[in-house]
Amino acid sequence: MHYLKRKKVISWALYDWANSAFATTVMAGFFPLFFKSFWAADLSPAESTAVIGTTNSLAGLFIMLSAPILGAYSDLGKLKKKFLAFFALLGVLSTGYLYFIPQGDWVIAASLYALAVVGFSGGNIFYDSLIVSVSKQEQRHKVSSLGFSMGYLGGGLLFVVNVLMYLNPAWFGLSSQSEAILWSFLSVAIWWAVFSLPLFMSVEEKSNTEISKGLFENITEAFKAVASTLREIKKHKRVAIFLIAYWLYIDGVDTIVRMAIAYGSDIGLDASSMITALLLTQFVGFPATLVFGIYADKIGFKKILTIGISIYILVTFYAYYMSTALEFYILAGTVGLVQGGIQAISRSFFSNIIPMNKEAQFFGFYNLVGKSAVFLGPVLVSWVALFFGNPRYGILSLLFLFVPGLVLLWMVPDKELTR
């Protein structure tokens, strides 16, 4: 790969390195734990889990409704990087401000977390769509896998520091584990901001046209583009069926990421063990995601995704019966083997079947489908658990996402579409 092209690919992938710190330290790790014990200690475990699930869902609802319009609007001109900058800044500022929220103030903490999730998820719409600006079609499995693997490595490295801060606060001149977690939130904000810079400095986006109309006219054009996308999706059976399958199985994947710590806490697992186990997910995920990218080209996307989804089905059953920290370690390592691979291969396959010059618009729908996991999945897990008074039923409910998703995946036609 030519030096300049390689530089753009790495600069693009570094955004995954940057924002994955939020996904690991905040979203998957410390926020659910800290929210329950510090900001929402007055709520029951089931109630605080329901708040976390609902907060994730409300943020996902916003992304679900706005993603197609934002994607279509950005396709009208060179706006992908500007939208990415806006959402990244929203995520950085909201995450950093968690440091200042006092104990017991769970409403503000949940609100800031929701804004940070919007920044994280909204930014990914435009980050994902920029893959076509840094790679050719035949390179995208490997480039997409590189992005996710960089995310695992970068997010994991900071998470190591944050976990050490949590387990040994005195080493860092901190007085308590609570202070360590608050400083961890601040470190994520700084990490996210700094490592986002290479993308904005080195990646040049492709664009059809420059925007020359007024705001109202362009918004009208964006709505027309969304309607056009819906009509186009109906014409492309392969895209339509894949999006439905993806909506189901990625719901389960994202929900496990966001709710695992809350679930473990509700069934009585030790907080330190769970946080440490998440490190295993990160560092298993780094090489495993690269391997997924290699084997996707050899055996095909459908077979490699089937392996990943089938493992998640087994993980769901395993989590239902899990009761010890050792079992949580096994679960975390197993998830690390397949999580990034499923995400990366899904993204790269989708990028290869969508119409040219409408990448952000179609990735708006891709994120509409994917981020609705934050709308449906956490609500399903947390409210099923609350209704039945048993968190194990909540985790088992994820089978309603994984199994139909796998069935529909095999209904996606094998014939390639002409681009």
pLDDT above 50: residue 419? no
Q: Where are the domains of the chain?
A: 3-202+212-409
**Which residue pairs from 133-136 have beta carbons closer than 8 angstroms and sit at least 24 positions apart in sequence?**
133/8, 133/12, 133/203, 133/204, 133/205, 133/206, 134/5, 134/8, 134/9, 134/11, 134/12, 134/203, 135/9
pLDDT tens across 35-56, in order? 998 999 888 888 888 898 889 8
Fold exhibited by the domain 3-202+212-409: Growth Hormone; Chain: A; (1.20.1250)
pLDDT tens across 189-200, in order? 999 999 999 999
- Give the residue among 198, 208, 196, 258 at the shortest CA–CA distance from 398: 258
pLDDT tens across 273-307, in order? 888 888 888 778 778 877 877 777 777 778 889 99
pLDDT tens across 71-90, in order? 666 666 677 888 899 999 99
pLDDT-derived band of residue 101, with 50, 70 and 90 as boundaries?
very high
The larger pLDDT score, comparing residue 105 to residue 297, is at 105
Residues 142 and 290: their CA atoms lie apart, in Å, by: 7
Residues 95 and 186: their CA atoms lie apart, in Å, by: 7
Residues 106 and 102: their CA atoms lie apart, in Å, by: 9
The pTM assigned to this predicted structure is 0.79
